[in-house]
Structure 1
Amino acid sequence: MIAGPIDHLFTLQRSPFALAPIIHQFYKHSTQQERDVLLSYLVLPMVLYPPMRDYLLTVRSTSSLRTLCKNQARLVGLTIRVQEFKPLTHAAMLVLRAEQGIEVTEDLSVRPIGDVRTANANQVLLEAGRRLALICTGEDVVSTYRTLGFKSL
């Protein structure tokens, strides 16, 4: 099968180099906690899903994970999307590590280093990633996964 222009455009938009700044932006605005590297698996599936992204762009400082979960339509298929985006998340994390944008500590927490590379990044997705960090702040990693409906990590 020969790939057409739409296939190539999709590949460019889903490149780990293009999506790594979103994860970096998330960690730049979240509070560091033990095992928060597991939250990286939630960033891309949530930010790239249009109903979730639309909600994230309206998040205020009073919003929480519970308010996100009020409308179940935003969470439809999240567990499947997390599995589908896992290889892309791994690649984006490797890009960030190679660029020395993040450091993963011994307790599996992610510490951002330097500024987020925003030159070629989608500004809407970066803002959604920042606001997702606001929602996840103050929640334990395990309770975040449980609240979102995951049975296992």
Structure 2
Amino acid sequence: MKPKAINHLFTLQRSPILLAPCLHQFYEKYASRERDLLLSYLVLPMLLSPPMQTFLIHAKGSSSLRTMCSQQSRLLGLTHLVQQNKSLTHASLLFLQTAESIEITDSLSVKSLRAVDTGGANPVHLTAASRLAILFAEVDIVTIYRTLGFKSL
């Protein structure tokens, strides 16, 4: 089977090197807590989902996790997207750790160490990652997963 140009475009858009700055942006804006590595599995699927991305871009300072979950269309298929993007998340985290931009501690918390080049990253994804960090800041990690409809971490 001959690969088509559309397949290559999808591969380029879902590159861990291009999406790693989005994860870094999330953890740069997020106050580090114990086991916050678990949130990284939510970041990329939420940024790559068009309805969720639209909400995050237009989120106000008064927006919360509850307002984000108020429309079911935003959450539709999120559990499947998380499973589908696990390897992409792992590769992005590995890229950031190899570049010494983040540190993953023994308590599974992620600390941003230094800035990362965001030249190839989509600016919309970077903005959405910052807003997602603000939405997740006040809520416990287990509560976030339960509110989003996950039965297990």
The answer, yes or no, to whether TM exceeds 0.5 is yes
Residues 17-96 of structure 1 correspond to what in structure 2 (within 5 A)?
A: 17-96=17-96
For the residues of structure 2 that align with 1:137 and 1:76, how far apart are their CA atoms? 23
The one-character-per-residue Cα deviations of 1:5-28 (angstroms, maximum 9, x if unpaired) are 111111111110011000000000
Partner Cα separation in structure 1 for residue 118 and residue 43 of structure 2? 17
Deviations 1:38-63 (A, max 9, x none): 00000010000000000000112211
Number of residue pairs matched?
A: 153
Shift of 1:142: 0.7
Give the fraction of aligned pairs with identical amino acids, expressed as a percent: 54
Deviations 1:79-135 (A, max 9, x none): 000000001000000000001110001110000111132111110110011111010
Give the Cα–Cα distance (whole angstroms) in 2 for the partners of residues 138 and 74 of structure 1.
Answer: 20
Structure 1: runs of 5+ lacking an equivalent? none
Match of 1:138 in 2: 138
Which runs of 4 or more aligned residues in structure 1 lie more than 6 Å from their structure 2 counterparts after TM superposition? none
The code of the aligned residue for 1:78 comes to: L
- CA distance in 1 between partners of 2:10 and 2:42 (Å): 20
Equivalent AA in structure 2 for residue 108 of structure 1: L
TM-score for both structures, normalised by structure 2: 0.98
Equivalent positions of 1:91-130 (< 5 A) are 91-130=91-130
Does 2:8 align with 1:8?
yes
Q: CA RMSD in A?
A: 0.7
Amino acid across the alignment from 1:67:
T
AA in 1 matched with 2:51? P
1:76 deviates by: 0.2
User: Per the alignment, in what secondary structure is the counterpart of residue 57 of structure 1?
Assistant: helix
Counterpart Cα distance in 2 of 1:121 and 1:72? 28
